[in-house]
């Protein structure tokens, strides 16, 4: 039963699934790798799709999610590892360790704020700003309209800006509180020193 179902329901979808993955990851080798992973999972776990009324839709959702996951992993690598051009530029500009640390902290802050957005807005923002995909490509990848892509991107940018400003204000308050605490401690020590000097006299 598994062999018959796989050959009659799944294998005929190979080309369509490959094109769908390719439209998302935009790399033939990567798309083929994703397709092979999906086919292996479908073959080894027929109970997950046998009996489903629309196995084609199931396969489309599966390969779309796998392709998006692959893109997310690639985007995360980009955010923490500078490419050759960036490394060359950093070398030419003699970027200081402090500057590299600040840049790393900024990336971490953006990732943190981005993780607080609704899932669709996260994907739209990543695909547009990191993967540099067109509105049409994003719409096809996420199976939504181009208008919804634009709306989601607008909301993502606006909310991300609000979150970043909020984090910046929170950091400033922490610095001010720490400074006030240090000043109080310093004043307490000075007062204690004056008291001790007066006692000794």
pLDDT in tens, 141-162: 888 899 999 999 999 999 888 8
Q: Report the mean per-residue pLDDT for the chain.
A: 78
Region for 145 from its dihedrals, namely left if φ exceeds 0, alpha if ψ lies in -120 to 50, beta otherwise: beta
Domain with CATH 1.10.10.10 in the chain: 116-201
Domain with CATH 1.10.1740.10 in the chain: 1-81
Cβ 72 vs Cβ 142: under 8 Å: no
pLDDT tens digit sequence for 115-129: 889 988 988 888 888
Give the Cα separation of 138 and 38 in Å (integer): 21
For residue 35, pLDDT over 70 is answered with yes
pLDDT of residue 78: 60
pLDDT of residue 102: 64
CATH code matching the domain that covers 116-201, chosen among 3.40.50.1580, 2.60.110.10, 3.40.50.2300, 1.10.10.10: 1.10.10.10
**Which tokens is 68 given?**
């998006």
Q: Kind and range of the H or E element at 160?
A: helix 146-200
User: Of the candidates 111, 149, 103, 113, which has an alpha carbon nearest to the alpha carbon of residue 130?
Assistant: 111
Give the Cα separation of 194 and 196 in Å (integer): 5
pLDDT of residue 131: 77
Summarize the confidence of residues 64-88 as an average pLDDT. 68
Please state, for a pLDDT cut of 70, what percent of the chain lies above it. 70
Q: Which of 54-63, 75-84, 169-178 has the highest mean pLDDT?
A: 54-63
Give the Cα separation of 147 and 139 in Å (integer): 9
**CATH of span 1-81:** 1.10.1740.10
pLDDT of residue 33: 93
Cβ 153 vs Cβ 146: under 8 Å: no
Please spell the DSSP secondary structure of 64-90, one letter per residue: HHHHHHHHHHHHHHHHHS--HHHHHHH
Cβ 42 vs Cβ 6: under 8 Å: yes
Higher pLDDT, 97 or 153: 153
Cβ 23 vs Cβ 140: under 8 Å: yes
């Amino acid at each position: 039963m598994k062999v018959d179902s796989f050959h009659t329901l799944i294998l005929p979808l190979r080309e369509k699934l490959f094109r769908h993955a390719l439209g998302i990851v935009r790399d033939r080798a990567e798309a083929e790798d994703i397709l092979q992973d999906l086919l292996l999972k479908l073959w080894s776990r027929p109970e997950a799709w046998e009996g489903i009324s629309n196995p084609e839709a199931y396969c489309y959702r599966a390969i779309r999610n796998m392709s998006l996951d692959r893109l997310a992993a690639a985007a995360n690598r980009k955010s923490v590892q500078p490419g050759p051009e960036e490394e060359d530029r950093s070398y030419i500009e003699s970027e200081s360790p402090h500057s590299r640390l600040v840049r790393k902290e900024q990336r971490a802050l953006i990732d943190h704020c981005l993780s607080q957005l609704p899932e669709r807005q996260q994907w739209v923002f990543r695909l547009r700003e990191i993967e540099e995909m067109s509105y049409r490509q994003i719409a096809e990848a996420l199976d939504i309209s181009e208008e919804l892509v634009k709306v989601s991107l607008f909301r993502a940018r606006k909310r991300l800006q609000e979150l970043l400003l909020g984090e910046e204000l929170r950091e400033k308050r922490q610095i001010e509180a720490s400074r006030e605490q240090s000043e109080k401690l310093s004043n307490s020590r000075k007062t204690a020193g004056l008291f001790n000097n007066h006692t000794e006299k």
